[in-house]
Chains A and B, each alone.
Chain A
Amino acid sequence: DAGVIQSPRHEVTEMGQEVTLRCKPISGHDYLFWYRQTMMRGLELLIYFNNNVPIDDSGMPEDRFSAKMPNASFSTLKIQPSEPRDSAVYFCASSNAGGPETQYFGPGTRLLVL
């Protein structure tokens, strides 16, 4: 398996622009997680899905952030409008259901908002 795939790997944008991050989970995994990592706050859970349904989005910073999972093999995290404080590394992870399964992380998207 190719593992979790994220695109783009790097994104530089200007404040106010829309940013879309993409994730393809490992085939057969039921759970998909979006995280944000910064030096100050570490790895923070933004939202997670189970069988394509959002379960907990309490970590989403504000209405500027939205996430979708239209099917089992694709998810997006959108920021509109973007702000400099959104600069971070965004990770997508997936896991199996049915127990304390580990999460498999993608390589991350490094976002810089100028």
Chain B
Amino acid sequence: SQKIEQNSEALNIQEGKTATLTCNYTNYSPAYLQWYRQDPGRGPVFLLLIRENEKEKRKERLKVTFDTTLKQSLFHITASQPADSATYLCALETGANNLFFGTGTRLTVIP
């Protein structure tokens, strides 16, 4: 079965720096991978999707990379702000609109 490791259960970073979160998976490579943001007491919110044939995807201050050889995705937040503090989840498609979620990394941006 698929397994996801989001290393660093918690990550603290100084405001203005680039935060880098890692998502490693085992077994098969998914056709696409997604990143979600979850704030306390709320449901996850979609941020970015990257397909297996894409190396990189950007959205404003966010950048996601996808390396199917390493079975790894990196999620970057540049010029981080305290408002970026949240838990970030990576999710792999398992087929037929089904997603398998990692346990998340809790990011804290320190002013």
Contact = CB atoms under 8 A, between A and B. Distances in A.
A43 B96 CA distance: 18
Contact of B44 (A55, A56, A105): A105
A105 B43 contact: yes
A93 B93 contact: no
Nearest to A48: B98
A97 B101 CA distance: 19
Nearest to A30: B97
B101 A100 contact: no
Secondary structure of the B side of the interface?
strand
Interface residues of A, number: 25
A71 interface: no
Interface in B51-100: 51, 89, 93, 96-100
A42 B104 contact: yes
Interface string B41-55: 111111001010000
Nearest to A41: B103
Interface of A: 4, 31, 35, 41-45, 48, 50, 55-56, 91, 93, 95, 97, 100-108
Interface of B: 31-32, 34, 41-46, 49, 51, 89, 93, 96-104
Lowest 9 CB-CB distances: which A-B pairs, in order?
A105-B43, A42-B103, A102-B46, A43-B101, A100-B32, A105-B44, A31-B97, A91-B43, A108-B43
Given A43-B103, A105-B43, A108-B43, 13 more contacts: A35-B101, A41-B103, A42-B103, A43-B44, A43-B89, A43-B101, A45-B100, A50-B96, A56-B98, A97-B97, A100-B49, A106-B43, A108-B42
